[in-house]
């Protein structure tokens, strides 16, 4: 008896979730975790039996909470493009995800305090779990590798928790 796996080569999806963001660097003090959000779409290309490439396009609100009166929290709004390798560890349920992320600044709330950089490069790592054939959850850590401003050595740090739907 011959059986074939019902594996699709190409899958599309949408996702949304919470960001727990902060800024880190030599010139940083008095900042706490900033809770915000992200949402967007993804495409998953199956390369091998247990390996896929998953590019995404997300709107992501990041920054830091400021612990001083009369000073607004820092907020950067990006269009992020993570390009992740997904290695499936348990069938098609649990996956290890890692890769680069390219972020393009849409706007910020720094006014003229600092000169924000329009591009941010990061490394991403995390886990994904396919709950049903269509519904999944993900947890990731985004480690910013470039400075967010021209004025200080400050980098993005983001923990992302997502829920999504694959078509």
Q: What is the pLDDT of residue 152?
A: 82
Separation in Å, CA 154 to CA 23, 85, 131, 133: 6, 27, 37, 40
Sign for the pseudo-dihedral over CA of 81, 82, 83, 86: negative
Q: What is the pLDDT of residue 140?
A: 98
Which residues are CB-contacts of 46 (< 8 A; sequence separation ≥ 6)?
Answer: 7, 8, 9, 10, 11, 52
Q: What is the pLDDT of residue 3?
A: 41
The residues of the chain scoring below 70 in pLDDT are 1-7, 27
Q: What is the pLDDT of residue 7?
A: 56
Give me Rg for the CA atoms of the chain.
18
Q: What is the pLDDT of residue 1?
A: 47
Which residues are CB-contacts of 107 (< 8 A; sequence separation ≥ 6)?
Answer: 77
58, with CB counted inside 10 A (0-12, 13-18, 19+), is buried
Instruction: Return the closest-CA partner of residue 102 out of 78, 118, 121.
Output: 121
Q: What is the pLDDT of residue 2?
A: 43
For domain 12-166, is the CATH number 2.40.160.20?
Answer: yes
Q: What is the pLDDT of residue 4?
A: 43
Which residues are CB-contacts of 10 (< 8 A; sequence separation ≥ 6)?
Answer: 43, 44, 45, 46
Which residues are CB-contacts of 3 (< 8 A; sequence separation ≥ 6)?
Answer: none
**pTM for this structure?**
0.90
DSSP 28: -
């Amino acid at each position: 008896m011959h059986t074939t796996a019902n594996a699709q080569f190409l899958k599309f999806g949408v996702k949304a979730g919470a960001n727990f963001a902060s800024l880190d660097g030599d010139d940083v003090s008095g900042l706490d975790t900033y809770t915000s959000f992200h949402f967007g779409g993804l495409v998953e290309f199956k390369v091998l039996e247990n390996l896929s490439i998953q590019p995404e396009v997300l709107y992501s609100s990041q920054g830091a909470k400021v612990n001083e009166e009369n000073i607004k929290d820092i907020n950067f709004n990006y269009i992020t493009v993570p390009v992740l390798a997904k290695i499936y560890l348990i069938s098609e349920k649990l996956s290890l995800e890692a890769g680069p992320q390219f972020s393009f600044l849409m706007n910020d709330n720094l006014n003229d305090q600092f000169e924000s950089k329009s591009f941010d490069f990061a490394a991403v790592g995390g886990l994904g779990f396919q709950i049903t054939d269509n519904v999944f959850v993900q947890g990731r850590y985004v480690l910013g590798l470039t400075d967010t401003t021209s004025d200080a050595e400050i980098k993005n740090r983001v923990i992302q928790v997502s829920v999504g739907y694959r078509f």
